[in-house]
Every structure is written in structure tokens, then in C-alpha cells.
Amino acid sequence: MSTALHTDDELRAATLDIEGMTCASCVARVEKRLSSVAGVQAAVNLATESAKVSIPVGVSDDDLIAAVESAGYGARVRAVGSQPAAMDEHDHTDEGRTKLGTRLVVSAILAIPVIATGMVPALQFPGWQWMAMILTLPIVMWGGWPFHRATFQNARHFTATMDTLITLGTSAALIWSVWAMFFGTAGEIGMTHDVVLFGPVHDATSLVYFEVAAGVTVFLLLGRWIEHRSKRRAGDALRTLMNLGAKAVTLATVAGADGPTVPIDDLQVGDRFVARPGEKIATDGVVVSGSAAVDASMLSGESEPIAVSAGSFVTGSTIATDGRLVVEATAVGENTRLAAMARLVEEAQTGKSAVQRLADRISGVFVPVVIVLSIVTLIAWLVFDGSVAAGFTAAVAVLIIACPCALGLATPVAILVGTGRGAQMGILITGPEAIESAGGIDTLFADKTGTITTGTMTLVSVATVDGVDTGAFVSSVASVESSSEHPVARAIVAAATEVPVATDFTSVAGRGVSGTVEGVRVFARRLDAGELETLPENLAAAVRAAGTTTIVAGRLSDDAETIEGVLFVADAVRDDSALAVQQLQKLGVEVRMLTGDNEAAAQRAATAVGIAHITSGVTPEGKIDAVRAAQAAGKSVAMVGDGVNDAPALAAADLGLAMGGGTDAAMHASDITLVRQSLSAAADAIRLSRKTMSTIRGNLFWAFGYNVAAIPLAALGLLNPMLAGAAMAFSSVFVVLNSLRLRAFR
């Protein structure tokens, strides 16, 4: 169908919540159907189970829903301002009222006696096969229903995936076994399996393969559960971001006094509200009156609060640390900057691939070939041998040997072992996307505050005029700062060996403090812009060389200041950051700094750790733009950060790494969390991810090679279905053992 061209003014945006997607092929199918509607452009996100759609005039929501339903999936248009289904606390992706985990646990419990008696002849008591049949029926029909449902949906559209192979293999094993029980000799009490390595047994109708049907179902349910748990991370990230917002707001009266407290949803653009010291600013707005130091680190990444006063713009969910503000709302709800960040996270995750798509692509070709081979095998035996039982046995052996247990385990088991080893090393790898992405990383953007540095303000040095004792000077400044909650004040107090009690304490929000210390009036404030040239030469030289936050302090007499010295406060560089940069460079990764902090502070930290490329003073939007620009230049990009302001860039990067001591939003938006709170953990995470990816590729190669080698034996009648089931189990054991080698990773 041809697609007309439309301008942006003719398009409207909508978001669809999609039900029933299980793999990358589902995403492609939904995108194809949506894009077949004239003029529609769609990007489907498997992680959030949603689709972002641009719709031309004349296309209705019902047209979109119909397109999705024609592909075999459910859809609904998300209401404006509502959260995606993946953000719901309840799990909507499991079919019916039953959780996928429940299917796994129940099926595993039922499968244990089935597999034990089926694979160990010594355990085959009289009537064991009837017990096996009773236990296997619910495993395959109920436990395996997610796979069968997907198979039926795919069949309607003449496509095949891993689910198709699972259904064919388990159904063939189950149907043959039930047929042999009722119409062959397998149902006789006292029957046990003959142990024959090659060639058909004396009576093919005495064989049952309940352990094959049950084992495959349980193993694949385990793999699907692991993938499912990883997929829900996207909803966690979005939910965490939205939960940062204020839940209630105190309105301001005409005179600026405190008015009634109302739910945040009742706040409208133009309303005036109050932000008291220590409270979240309810929404984006302009300060009408008052002044305060605002902690905006969640957005800017800068550890030091920003001074605001009448006329300043403030962002919702930042915190007024030490002053009272009256703010006029300029944006509410989905139009706020926080909501925009949530959208950036969701949109950045759209299109992230999973390693498992390789197995799906293999299955797309492999399944039709296996079906044809099974049919050809049956026909060939009927033509050349004339034995229906032998022909059917060989055909079933082909289907069973092709059953993709090892293929299905190749990815999730390696991920399980790799992530387990990572957890022991303080590295939380959350899913296959991280492992796949890490293999080609060549550029890493590192946030400064809380990542390269500790995120805690520290007094790094002091300079005084001639004749002033440094220790006494720091103690007097700490005395007047001890009544302030400002991070810079806390850093100075922590560095003082003695803190005398100050009286007559005065604080001017965003300006500084003063007080009387042992009879002397002392002041401390931030160095004003343009004041440098008025300082004594030794202090001015120290300020020029410092590149840190500078506090000027001294004595007050009749409101006249006598400057006695300057204190330099900075975010301290982590002890191992320089070594971490070297380790990353040895891995072939270029390290760049990307920070919202000022240029001087950024340059100081970058020089200390050996980073040559820095970008300072960037917003969250600027960070995501930098990541995308590098990607557009052909770079494979990792981002490591710790703040809410880093979350969009973490989600947009090919590999997102969050410091474990950072915010929940950063950790949920990332692919890897560094619990060790060390940049060197980022290098270890990349090495471990690459090793895990190498193991997955090896697993897929050997699992597929096993099928290729064993299918001809089954078709020639040299591999009876019993041995086929055992060989299938061995291939799975091989994949597991190969994956377990990751436990020795160092």
C-alpha cells in the first residue's frame, strides 16, 4: 500500500498499549500492520508493550486497533497523561489470571517424577507410565499454553518461531505416547523401556515420551520467565520517575501566605503555590517571591544547590533546601519537565534488541524444514519399508530431536549464570540487552557527580592572608556554618577540628551566613563573580588555580567585610576513578565526561582521572542528545551515571550503567547497576558482558549443530525417539555446563 507524505502539522501522536507480544518477531509483525495503514508511522516497544504512532488526518483510533488485532494481538489507545501498562504494579502480560511463575513452579513439581521414571528404568514401577501420562497432560496443555497460544497466532499468519517448535515437539511426544498407551502395548502394567542405543526397539508401540514433553515444557518456561522478569524493568524505570513528583501542594493566598493543601492533580497553570524549606517544588513554575537554595541535582547533576529568587524558573520535584518560595505554575501534569524525562526514557528504550531474536530467526527457517523432513521421513519409510510403526517412530524422532530445548536454554541459562557471577562482583546485569550491547561498546560517557566523584562536597584546601592561622580560620567559619544545612556548609564543618558555638546567627538564602564567634562577628559567603580582582594576590592566585566552589570568609565590623581567607569546596574524586579510566581504555573504550556541573569543576575532575574529552553544563536533554549524536556518528555508546538527570541518557545509550548509590530512576533506566559504586566496576561489567555474550554464541552454535547432526540419524531410523529424548536432554546439559564456566570469571 502506498503511503502519502504528510507534514508534522497534519500528524497527531498516540500511544497504543499492545497485548500478547512475546518476541522480536511479534514486534515486527505489529509494526508492519500499523505501517500498512495509510500515512501511519509506528515504533513498537516490546519492553513497555506499547507502540508510539504518528497518525495522519482521517485515520481513527479504531483503524489502529483493527490493524493490531488483524496481526493477532490486542490493543487499546492510552489515555493522555496515563501511565503505560508496563508501569502498573500488577503484571498484565501473563495470560488469564495465572502468572507465568505459577505455571513454572507447578509444572516443575509435576515434571520431577515424570522425568525420573522416564529416564531411569530402575525407577519404572508397575503402572508408572499411567502416572506419567496423568502428570504430563496438565504440564503440556496448561503449563505450556503460552507457547501453544503463540503458535496458533503465528500459524494464522503463516509464520513460525521458537514457540512453533516447542508446540510441535511437545505435542508429537505427547500424542504418540497417549496413542501408544491406548492402541499399542505401552499401556500394559509392568511395561518397562528397553535400552537401545541405535535402531528401533522390538516394539515401537511400547515406547512413551512423557518425560520429553514435560522436560521441554519446564525448561522453556524457565527461559521465558527469565526473559519476562527482565522485560518488566522498563515499567520500573517509568514508574520510579513519575513517583518522584509531589503528591500534594499548598496553595498560596493573594498575600502570599499558606493556603489550603490540595492534591497535585488539582493544580492548574497560573495557580500560585508554596514551597517551604525541605519540601519538593510541586511543579514547573516561576518564583513570585522569596529566595532559597534549590537542590536541582536530579536534573542538573550539579552537587551544589542553585540560588533562586523572584523571577527565577524552578522545576517540579526539585527541593527548596533553606528558604520559602511562592511559585506560579507554568506547566502541570504531562507537560512538566519530569514527565518529559519519563517520555524520553520510554522512547529511548524503543527498538532495543534481545539476543533471543537470533534463535527466533533460526526457528523461522528451521521449523518449516523440520516439518517437511518429518513428513518426508514418514513417506519414505512407508514407500521403502512398508512399516507404519517404524515410519511413524522415525518421523516422531525427527520432531523430538529437533525440539529446541537447548536453543531455548542457550540464552537464559548463560544470562542466569553470568548475572549471578556479576552479582557476586557487585555488578547487577538486568537482561540480555545489556550483554548483547556490551560486546561492541567503543565509547563511554561518564557523569561526573556521584560517578567519577563521590557526590559529596568536601573541603579540599584553604588559603588565608598573611598572619591568619588556618586552623583557627576554618574553626571560626565552621562555627557560623554549623547552623546551615547547605552541603557546602556541612563540608566545612566536617573538616574543622574544633567548632565553637556561634551566636546571633543570620542566614540570607543563596547569599551566605554570619554570626558571632568568641566575641568576633564572622561572615562566610560564596565568592561573587567579578570579585576576584579585589582579593589579595595570594588568594586570587589560589582561586584561579582551584577550579572549585569558593567560599570567602572573614570578620565583620559595622557591616564592612575584612576578608581573611578563602575555602575551596569540591566534589571529591573517587580513589579508583583514574585506574578505571585506564582499564576502560585498555578495553578499547574511549571515555568522555558528560556533566551538568560547571566547566571548572568538570575540568578539575577530568584532569585528575585522565579524561581528555569533556562536555559540561548540559541538561538531561543535552545528555541524551550527546549520546544520540555519538550513535549517529557510528559509535556504540555506553553511559554511566547515578542521578535522575542521567536516566534518559542511560536509557538511550546502547548500554546503560548506573551507580548503585544513585537514584532508583537511574538504576531502573539502566541495563547494569554497579553496586560497588566504583567506576572500575564499569570495566568489569563490560568484560563480564562480553564473556557472557561469547558463551551465548557458543551455546547457540552447539545447540543448532546438535540438531543438524542428529536429524539425519533420526530420519534413517538409527535414532529411536527414546534416545532422541536422551540426546536432547544431553544437549541441554551441555549448554548448562558451558554456561556454568562463567562462574570462574575474574
Is the Cβ–Cβ distance between 169 and 140 less than 8 Å? Answer: no
Q: What is the DSSP track for 377-425?
A: HHHHHHHHT--HHHHHHHHHHHHHHT--HHHHHHHHHHHHHHHHHHHHT
Is the Cβ–Cβ distance between 594 and 447 less than 8 Å? Answer: yes
Is the Cβ–Cβ distance between 278 and 319 less than 8 Å? Answer: yes
| Inter-residue long-range contacts of 89-97, CB under 8 Å, 24+ positions, other chains counted | 89/239, 91/232, 92/19, 92/49, 93/19, 93/49, 93/228, 93/231, 93/232, 94/228, 95/145, 95/146, 95/149
Q: How many residues does the chain have?
A: 746
Is the Cβ–Cβ distance between 154 and 169 less than 8 Å? Answer: no
Whose CA is closest to 444, among 590, 297, 628, 326? 590
Give the whole-angstrom CA distance, residue 303 versus residue 598: 10
Give the whole-angstrom CA distance, residue 469 versus residue 477: 12
Give the whole-angstrom CA distance, residue 486 versus residue 524: 12
CB contact set of 380 (below 8 Å; sequence gap of 6+): 391, 715
What cell does 199 get?
535402531
Is the Cβ–Cβ distance between 274 and 252 less than 8 Å? Answer: yes
Centre a 10 Å sphere on the Cβ of residue 286 and count the other Cβ atoms it contains.
Answer: 15
CB contact set of 70 (below 8 Å; sequence gap of 6+): 33
Q: Phi and psi dihedrals of 550, rounded to 5?
A: -115, 125
What cell does 723 get?
534416545
For the chain, counts of helices (H) and of strands (E): 24, 26
What secondary structure letter does DSSP report for 280? B
Whose CA is closest to 524, among 535, 534, 515, 512? 512
Q: Phi and psi dihedrals of 45, rounded to 5?
A: -115, 110
Give the whole-angstrom CA distance, residue 10 versus residue 200: 68
Which is catalytic among the residues 447, 597, 654, 684? 447
What cell does 175 get?
500424542
Q: Decide the pairing of beta strands 560-573 and 453-464.
A: antiparallel
The amino acid at 338: L
Q: What is the DSSP track for 11-43?
A: EEEEEEEEES--SHHHHHHHHHHHHTSTT-EEE
Whose CA is closest to 468, among 570, 543, 548, 567? 567
Q: How far apart are the first and last CA of the chain?
A: 55
Give the whole-angstrom CA distance, residue 532 versus residue 191: 97
CB contact set of 10 (below 8 Å; sequence gap of 6+): 56, 57
Residue whose grid cell is 511395561: 191
Whose CA is closest to 16, among 39, 3, 1, 33? 33
What cell does 29 get?
509483525
Q: In which region does residue 693 sit, left (phi positive, over 0), alpha (psi from -120 to 50) or beta (all else)?
A: alpha
Q: Report how far apart, in Å, the C-alpha atoms of 118 and of each of 106, 114, 131, 216 are.
A: 19, 6, 11, 13
Q: In which region does residue 634 sit, left (phi positive, over 0), alpha (psi from -120 to 50) or beta (all else)?
A: left
Q: Is 447 a catalytic residue?
A: yes
Compute the Cα dihedral for 152, 158, 160, 164 and give only its sign. Answer: positive
Write out the catalytic residue numbers. Answer: 447
